Structure 1
Amino acid sequence: MTRISRTRDLFLFFMAVIYLAAFCSLYVQIPGLYGENGILPAKSVIGKEADSWDDLLDSQPTLLKLTPKLGLSVQQGMDLLCMAGMVVSFLCVVCKTMRDTVSFILLWMLYFSLYQVGQTFLWFQWDILLLEAGFLTILVAPFNLQIPVKKFRLSFYHQHDSITLWLVRWLLFRLMFSSGVVKLTSKCPTWWGLTALNWHFESQCIPTPLAWWWHHLPHWFLQLSVVMTYVIEIAIPFLFFAPVRSLRLFSFWCQVLLQLLIIVTGNYNFFNLLTIALSIALLDDDFLGYRNKKSTSSSSIINKLMSVVVFGYLGYQTVKQFGLNLKDDYTIGSKIAFSQKDFDRFLSVVVPWTIWFGAFSFAFEVLVALIRCYTEVKGSFWKNWAATQVLIYTVIGATMFAISLVPYSSLHRDAEKIVPPQAKTLHSRVNNFHLTSSYGLFRRMTGVGGRPEVVIEGSNSRDSGWREYEFFYKPGDLGRRPPVVAPHQPRLDWQMWFAALGSYQHNTWFLNLAYRLLTNERDVLELIQYNPFPDKPPKYLRAQLYKYHFSKDGGVKLNGGKWWTRELTGEYLPVVTKDEPTLVNFLQQQGLLDAKSKKSKKSKSSSSFVARAVQWLRDMIGQPEGFMFVMTVLLTAVTANFILATIMS
């Protein structure tokens, strides 16, 4: 049977890299986002200091409840947890033996603790996905307990590894299948009309330079790309559990292709790398070049026949369901050939069926693992020990599978009926820990007719002299090339995109951002590339709402060097001043403004050795540009891993 020990190690390596990117990206933004004078001070949402285990887990479980015992402020506590996460994940990237259960428990606890106080800047689907994937990584990772006696030294590979990696595959299935389904259940006209990609590339949060070129591809090609998105997200995930190896590898390459295309056209931080990491569970050691026994010729012929049948059926259904046809001008026409009622009937059958299929597939994986315990392990004691471990992880895996059915079954009402009440009860008890969640990316296409964009302006006169603030990554200056910033996530730039979709009344943080700009708050200004008032803050501030479009086809040079065009659509935030009573009173009521914050920050920063050490590191590192900082740390870790692996070999 095919081994998966190297596959498991590769998955753990990828998860360590993703954790490192996530912690580094967040660390450089903590002062401006969550500091004493940040946009959303974390101290306003943190609970009381924990004096007992119940206090620590009550309502908002986070390690930040313990940091005051070290003499740390909330901001310094976040710095400490983030730095600890950077150190542990860095060591996990560099050294294989560090990638064990203990290390990934620490990483999950640290990120979960930060997520608890992250508020709107940290409540994205990829942060939730990292928490669920990170918890599964704890189960996948080995417990590297090295007993001194050579005879009893534990192995790095266990028979239950196939069970834990199955849970990763199940998460990948839920992520991709749900993301495809919600595009159609949302009844968004662009997804049903196959025109979503006509708007996606210019309307996404932070496009890349290649997004401009993809936006100008022929209409028929963009429509066909939407069709392939549906195929990869809805149909291909069923091959994750195929008994034929070639079909699983085909599904792996489809997922990697989709993620790579998203990476080159959009800046989605570590999300695409995380999805690729989950896809590693579809591989085996043979794929990675560590070959074991070759399959017999008869089984190879059967596998090829099954692959031909599956590919043929998949191609037939794609042509039929999306009306693919070759036109006279050699372009491919496409149109959804089923109705919303047809799709609902499809889901009413398929979603409940996937639950039963998932249960059967998990049981089969457990059975195979038990068989391996008594056929591949030597010695009766070790056979029974391996089987015991399999049974333990079977209970854990079955529990994880059961609670995952609760959010997954929300895809269709008929699926909710077959979820056991015990699973719903257990899910409600652990829901605060985000061990599992529902997913559905790009549910509706925004920015149809032009992407809304908020532009903040300051002036010393109400009537003239308005100058724009320029952010690092989001569209602003029409002639600035779209950036490449992933795997860093500039959380303020991202939230500015969401703010443009609504109003400032529904984004209280935006009012505090305006106030901090009116006072030239240094930590907040570090999150912005260009401050037009470096010496003295402006007297007045306002925000205008524009619609941005990519410049016309024909090349950027033919458009006067401009990547964007824009048109003013209205006022987003009326003119405000820092002394305006309404603004000040509102921020104070929300706990976002505290006149004593600077004094308290200074006193806390010198209260203990740990606090002084954390503050010294912050002063040394500061708030560097996020992308360069993240890439520098990542490349250093990967290079160190390569050097160490070369020396050890």
Structure 2
Amino acid sequence: MWQWLSAPDYWSARFVVSHLLALIYLIGFTCFLRQFRGLLGSRGLTPIADHVARVPFRRSPSLFHLRSSDRWLSAVGWAGVVASLLAQLADLAPLWAWVALWSLLWVLYLSIVNVGQIWYSFGWESLLLEAGFLAIFLGPQHVAPPAPALWLLCWLLFRVEFGAGLIKMRGDACWRDLTALHYHHETQPMPGPLSRWFHWLPRPLHEVEVLANHVTQLVVPFALFAPQPVAGVAAVLIVVTQLWLMLSGNFAWLNLTTIALAFAGMGSWLLGPVTPAPPPLQELPGWFAVPLLAVTALFVVLAWWPIRNMLGSAQVMNRSFNKLHLSNTYGAFGSITRTRYEVIVEGAPDRDGPWLEYEFEGKPGDPHRRPPQVAPYHLRLDWLMWFLAISPTYGRSWLPRFLEALLRNERDVLNLLRDNPFPDEPPALVRAGLYRYRFNTRRERKATGRHWTRTEASEFIRPLTLDDLR
């Protein structure tokens, strides 16, 4: 009866998409476990307990409205890790177990994002939630791949790419005159090991890169809805572009998730040779097909909001129109900073110094240090420090508490950093300066051993003691 909903030629696509999404969930829950105590725990920078006390459940649906102790946060994180690992084996499970497991993953991560405050305000959080919700309706390997779920994944990919392309063309003029990459590799939030090499590529090549990006984001996404092999070729082009972005910078799991979505548009002619042979496929049962059609109809209705946003003159980036993070709008780098500034935080035992610098895990600090490869892992504090250099308002909710934690040598917060220059006793004062950073040329790098040249621009935070913070 429900055979018309099946897309057997996309068995390999479903196989790859589901396994990649399970991996991304695992990365997301691992990030939470490693960072929640310093960011969201009872002694964190913005405790979840304080958030749920002032924000009702209807505005932030989350399991943490039941309990918000550190032990409960840890239990939710570990439950997500276990469920993510089990999702790699869910192909072997009955359909009902598949639905239950992927629903659990979505509920757990939704609970984190809805109370994660500024630390979970990035577009890839909503992207993972929306893709993870659709994965509930993909089904295990012995069930025929459901065409509506695959189409919705392609529609999600379309919004990611086309929304990002539109916001660039409507935003900074450097995207239109093809000069954006003259700056972006140096000024992006989290440069990677190869970013300096990319930055010093010939400028005409940068302009070709920008033009190729416009084609990939504004033209290619429409081909995702064409018959094979056109859709498959379009998906491959998107994958190649995302791999290029992964080499040139650290964007958490944004690129990996986009790649996972692109596989939804690839038929067996592309993926069949590199994936297992499909077993005999069962028809979709009615108890599964009816909710699948209902969800498809729901997404048709919800499409109004992202379409209106993309076509409207006041397009916004990375906006969720509902608390379930379904049918969101996406986009990135509508504006490009031309100059890189970094907030450098230091402490001292007294006003005469010496002033010692706090090094972060990923963001630029020591000019001798090569930018590390971080993605698809996400260093949330490091990313917020980049925003802080753009405007102090980004630190309004957490910066005073961060400085207090440094002055108290609080372990949970210091664990978010690369090292603590005051291991024995806390500093008496902390301060922060604003520094201009630029990549060294190959000749400068060889002469100085430094990847960056930095110069002090201004004082950002004057020297403060605990009494000053009080």
Aligned to 2:42: 36
Aligned to 1:64: 64
1:415 Cα deviation after fit: 12
- Residues 1:44 and 1:2: Cα distance change in structure 2 (over 3 Å): closer
Is the CA contact 1:163–1:394 (under 8 Å) kept in the aligned structure 2?
yes
- Residues 1:510 and 1:238: Cα distance change in structure 2 (over 3 Å): same
Structure 1-normalised TM-score? Answer: 0.66
Aligned to 2:308: 409
2:40 & 2:268 partners in 1: Cα distance? 44
Structure 2 SS opposite 1:436: coil
1:81 matched to 2:61: no
1:84 & 1:505 partners in 2: Cα distance? 31
Residue by residue over 1:295-341, the C-alpha shift from the partner in whole angstroms, topping out at 9 and shown as x without a partner, is xxxxxxxxxxxxxxxxxxxxxxxxxxxxxxxxxxxxxxxxxxxxxxx
1:131 to 111, 129, 132: 129
2:419 & 2:44 partners in 1: Cα distance? 18
Structure 2 SS opposite 1:194: coil
1:189 Cα deviation after fit: 2.2
1:180 to 165, 172, 179: 165
Is the CA contact 2:158–2:222 (under 8 Å) kept in the aligned structure 1?
yes
1:233 matched to 2:233: no
Is the CA contact 2:63–2:108 (under 8 Å) kept in the aligned structure 1?
yes
2:154 to 166, 169, 175: 169
1:507 Cα deviation after fit: 2.6
1:572 & 1:524 partners in 2: Cα distance? 21
Q: Structure 1, unaligned stretches of length 5 or more?
A: 50-54, 68-72, 143-154, 292-375, 417-426, 585-649
Aligned to 1:373: none
Aligned to 1:191: 175
2:198 to 214, 220, 241: 214
Is the CA contact 1:34–1:40 (under 8 Å) kept in the aligned structure 2?
yes
1:110 to 97, 108, 111: 108
Residue type matched to 2:194 in 1?
A: L
Aligned to 2:361: 472
Structure 2 SS opposite 1:139: coil
1:95 Cα deviation after fit: 5.0
Aligned to 1:342: none
Residue type matched to 2:240 in 1?
A: L
1:524 & 1:377 partners in 2: Cα distance? 51
1:574 to 452, 462, 465: 462
- Residues 1:414 and 1:501: Cα distance change in structure 2 (over 3 Å): closer
1:45 to 48, 51, 55: 51
- Residues 1:46 and 1:377: Cα distance change in structure 2 (over 3 Å): closer
Residue type matched to 1:548 in 2?
A: Y
1:502 Cα deviation after fit: 0.3
1:439 to 330, 340, 344: 330
Aligned to 1:307: none
Is the CA contact 1:504–1:573 (under 8 Å) kept in the aligned structure 2?
no
1:392 & 1:523 partners in 2: Cα distance? 44
Aligned to 1:562: 450
Is the CA contact 1:545–1:569 (under 8 Å) kept in the aligned structure 2?
yes
Alignment map for 1:32-431 (pairs within 5 Å): 32-47=38-53, 57-67=57-67, 73-98=68-93, 100-142=98-140, 156-158=142-144, 161-186=146-171, 188-243=172-227, 245-289=228-272, 390=289, 392-413=291-312, 431=322
Aligned-residue identity in percent: 36
Structure 2 SS opposite 1:536: coil
Residue type matched to 1:118 in 2?
A: G
Residue type matched to 2:124 in 1?
A: W
1:131 Cα deviation after fit: 1.1
Residue type matched to 1:61 in 2?
A: P
Structure 1 SS opposite 2:330: coil
1:268 & 1:22 partners in 2: Cα distance? 13
1:15 Cα deviation after fit: 0.8
Aligned to 1:500: 389
2:440 & 2:430 partners in 1: Cα distance? 29
1:132 Cα deviation after fit: 1.1
Residue type matched to 1:528 in 2?
A: L
Residue type matched to 1:90 in 2?
A: L
Residue by residue over 1:548-593, the C-alpha shift from the partner in whole angstroms, topping out at 9 and shown as x without a partner, is 10012447323x110000111111112211122xx32xxxxxxxxx
Structure 2 SS opposite 1:230: helix
Is the CA contact 1:248–1:283 (under 8 Å) kept in the aligned structure 2?
yes
Is the CA contact 1:504–1:511 (under 8 Å) kept in the aligned structure 2?
no
Structure 2 SS opposite 1:44: helix
Is the CA contact 2:432–2:459 (under 8 Å) kept in the aligned structure 1?
yes
Is the CA contact 1:456–1:468 (under 8 Å) kept in the aligned structure 2?
yes
Residue by residue over 1:138-187, the C-alpha shift from the partner in whole angstroms, topping out at 9 and shown as x without a partner, is 12235xxxxxxxxxxxx83236x11110000001001100100100112x
2:356 & 2:208 partners in 1: Cα distance? 43
Structure 1 SS opposite 2:183: helix
2:85 & 2:59 partners in 1: Cα distance? 31
1:377 & 1:552 partners in 2: Cα distance? 58
Aligned to 1:145: none
1:485 Cα deviation after fit: 1.3
1:505 Cα deviation after fit: 7.6
Q: Which one has the largest radius of gyration?
A: 1
Aligned to 1:535: 424
Aligned to 1:13: 19
1:75 Cα deviation after fit: 2.0
1:252 Cα deviation after fit: 1.3
2:407 & 2:281 partners in 1: Cα distance? 69
Is the CA contact 1:457–1:469 (under 8 Å) kept in the aligned structure 2?
yes
2:428 & 2:27 partners in 1: Cα distance? 38
1:192 Cα deviation after fit: 1.9
1:438 Cα deviation after fit: 1.1
Is the CA contact 2:90–2:98 (under 8 Å) kept in the aligned structure 1?
no
Aligned to 2:3: none
Structure 1 SS opposite 2:151: helix
1:505 & 1:273 partners in 2: Cα distance? 27
Structure 2-normalised TM-score? Answer: 0.90
Is the CA contact 1:2–1:286 (under 8 Å) kept in the aligned structure 2?
no
- Residues 1:540 and 1:106: Cα distance change in structure 2 (over 3 Å): same
Is the CA contact 1:47–1:60 (under 8 Å) kept in the aligned structure 2?
no
Moved more, 234-243 or 397-406: 397-406
Aligned to 2:435: 546
Structure 2 SS opposite 1:566: strand
Is the CA contact 2:232–2:267 (under 8 Å) kept in the aligned structure 1?
no
1:392 Cα deviation after fit: 5.0
Is the CA contact 1:210–1:264 (under 8 Å) kept in the aligned structure 2?
yes
Q: Which has the higher helix share?
A: 1
How well do the aligned residues superpose, as a CA RMSD in angstroms?
2.5
1:540 & 1:252 partners in 2: Cα distance? 53
Moved more, 86-95 or 119-128: 86-95
